[in-house]
């Protein structure tokens, strides 16, 4: 169990961080590890008790599959695309905050108008949570490293939206779904009353 | 010991967490998630260069989630005989990938690509904000299968093309 202790234990966190810095680009890793709340739980086992704080992934494996075809982190594979080149962070925040605040306002009005039991909308720590009583809960948040907005829906599950500059909307590349239209359709159907979110 | 402490802290944090501002029920990790966190199944790695092994690597460190899922396939039957995973991420991500390795064992590749994130999420009672972890696990399974098939196709093509130039044919 000693080896497990080393790898899963939080004291190994420091060593793990310095090791992983060698594997991943420093910039990306800084975002991931400077947050104290990031639970760097690396599940791995070393029966022979080999090198302590063993690398999660040897450089060999990390450079393997899925290097090509990165669509802003949505396709499987570690993200090798530098999203800072795709969109500057402040621009992302501006666009994402705009849509989220807009949705927040419209959903609040909707909630007031339909008087539904268990309807609750909450915005805290830049996470928008919409509870629809027993019908389920929506969670909408920014995923800044990927320049995406992430949605969790009780109807369609998880989806990740990228900004489409050509049409000025947020699109889930896998399905082509438009964030605002998806929410309008789902929430309208769930609550039984159409909602206007655009 | 650190593992136990971390585990207890996890449980403690979950148990002690107060209701959200909206007054909803207390949140915590489902016992299945805690189980997979404390007793992860199939942790480890295969040799990625082994022709029977497919490796799926998904996620991004910047997001705080990386999963590596590997399958060992029996060439004759196309059945997955063994699986391993290594995951960097939250308890739900670890549990999702651990469940994924359990579910792919003994199945045909066509079967495992039908495993949906919703099934994993339901099995672990993942809260809405953690559904993304189950999606990543589904992606990891698909990536592993794709990798195996790509490798196989490449090897078959190499066989067809004959031995490389400069090699000595003995037959």
Of the pLDDT bands very low, low, confident and very high (cuts 50, 70, 90), residue B158 is: confident
Which of A22-26, A100-104, B114-118 has the lowest average pLDDT?
A22-26
Write down the catalytic residue from B121, B133, B140, B145. B133
B163 in contact with A at a CB cutoff of 8 Å? no
The answer to whether the Cβ–Cβ distance between B57 and A9 falls below 8 Å is no
The Cα–Cα gap between A69 and A79 comes to 10
At A148 the three-state DSSP class reads strand
Averaged pLDDT score across all residues of chain A: 72
Q: Which ranges in B81-165 belong to alpha helices (H)?
A: 91-104, 109-112, 117-123, 131-161
Percent helix, strand and coil across chain B, each rounded to 5? 50, 20, 30
Do B62 and A8 count as a contact with CB atoms less than 8 A apart? Answer: no
* Neighboring chain B residues of A38 at a CB cutoff of 8 Å: 64
pLDDT band at A34 (very low <50, low <70, confident <90, very high): very low
**Could you give the maximum distance between any two Cα atoms of chain B, in Å?**
77
Helices (H), A35-178: 59-62, 83-86, 89-114
Confidence (pTM) = 0.68
Give percent of chain A above pLDDT 90.
52
In this predicted model, which residue has the larger pLDDT, B13 or A161?
A: A161
Q: Checking phi first, is residue B40 left (phi over 0); if not, alpha (psi -120 to 50) or beta?
A: beta
Q: Span B49-58, mean pLDDT?
A: 96
Which residue in B87, B82, B79 sits closest to B101, CA to CA? B82
Half-sphere exposure of B38 (CA within 13 A, CB side): 16
State mean pLDDT over A95-105: 96
pLDDT at B3: 55
The whole-angstrom separation of Cα A168 and Cα B121 is 32
Contact at 8 Å (CB) between B83 and B42? yes
Q: What is the mean pLDDT of residues B91-107?
A: 95
Tell whether the model's pLDDT for residue B121 goes beyond 90.
Answer: yes
ipTM score for this prediction: 0.72
pLDDT of B56 > 80? The answer is: yes
Enumerate the residues of chain A whose CB falls inside 8 A of the CB of residue B66: 56-57, 78
Q: How far is A134 from chain B (nearest CA, A)?
A: 12
Residue A180 has pLDDT above 90, yes or no: yes
- Over 60: is that where the pLDDT of A20 sits? no
B 72-131 residues with CB < 8 A to A: 85-91, 94, 98, 117-118, 121, 128-129, 131
Catalytic site residue from B63, B114, B153, B155: B63
> Region B150-158: what's the mean pLDDT?
91
- Kindly list the residues from chain B whose CB atom is less than 8 angstroms away from the CB atom of residue A8: 2-3, 6
- For this structure, is B90 an active site residue? no
Q: Is A150 within 8 Å of B63 (Cβ atoms)?
A: no
Chain A contact for B153 (CB, 8 A cutoff) = no
For residue B8, the chain A residues in CB contact (below 8 A) are: none
- State residue A136's pLDDT score: 93
Chains A, B: CB contacts under 8 A, how many? Answer: 148
Predicted pLDDT of residue B61: 83
Q: What is the pLDDT of residue B29?
A: 85
* Mean pLDDT of the A52-72 span: 40
Chain A contact present for B56, CB below 8 A: yes
Q: Is the pLDDT of residue B44 over 70?
A: yes
């Amino acid at each position: 169990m000693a080896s497990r202790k080393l790898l899963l234990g939080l004291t190994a966190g420091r060593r793990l961080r310095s090791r992983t810095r060698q594997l991943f680009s420093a910039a990306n890793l800084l975002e991931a590890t400077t947050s104290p709340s990031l639970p760097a739980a690396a599940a791995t086992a070393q029966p022979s008790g080999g090198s302590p704080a063993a690398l999660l992934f040897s450089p060999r494996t990390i450079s393997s599959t899925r290097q090509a075809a990165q669509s802003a982190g949505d396709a499987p594979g570690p993200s090798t695309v530098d999203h800072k080149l795709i969109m500057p962070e402040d621009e992302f925040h501006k666009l994402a905050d705009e849509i989220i605040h807009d949705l927040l306002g419209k959903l609040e009005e909707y909630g007031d108008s339909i008087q539904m039991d268990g309807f609750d909308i909450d915005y805290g720590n830049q996470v928008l949570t919409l509870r629809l009583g027993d019908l389920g809960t929506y969670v909408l948040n920014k995923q800044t490293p990927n320049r995406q907005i992430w949605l969790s829906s009780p109807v369609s599950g998880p989806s990740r939206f990228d900004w489409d500059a050509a049409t000025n909307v947020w699109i889930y590349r896998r399905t082509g779904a438009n964030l605002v239209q998806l929410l309008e359709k789902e929430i309208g159907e769930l609550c039984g009353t159409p909602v206007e979110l655009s | 010991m650190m593992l136990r402490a971390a585990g207890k802290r996890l449980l403690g944090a979950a148990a002690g967490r107060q209701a959200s501002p909206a007054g909803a029920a207390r949140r915590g990790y489902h016992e299945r998630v805690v189980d997979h966190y404390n007793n992860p199944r199939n942790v480890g790695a295969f040799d990625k260069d082994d022709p029977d092994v497919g490796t799926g690597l998904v996620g991004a460190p910047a997001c705080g989630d990386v999963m590596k899922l590997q399958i060992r396939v029996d060439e004759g039957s196309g059945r997955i005989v063994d699986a391993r995973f290594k995951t960097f991420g939250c308890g739900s991500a670890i549990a999702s990938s651990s469940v994924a390795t359990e579910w792919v064992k003994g199945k045909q590749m066509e079967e495992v690509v039908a495993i949906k994130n919703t099934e994993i999420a339901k099995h672990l009672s993942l809260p809405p904000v953690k559904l993304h972890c189950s999606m990543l696990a589904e992606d990891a399974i698909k990536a592993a299968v794709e990798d195996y098939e790509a490798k196989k196709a490449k090897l078959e093509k190499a066989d067809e093309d004959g031995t490389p130039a400069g090699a000595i044919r003995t037959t």
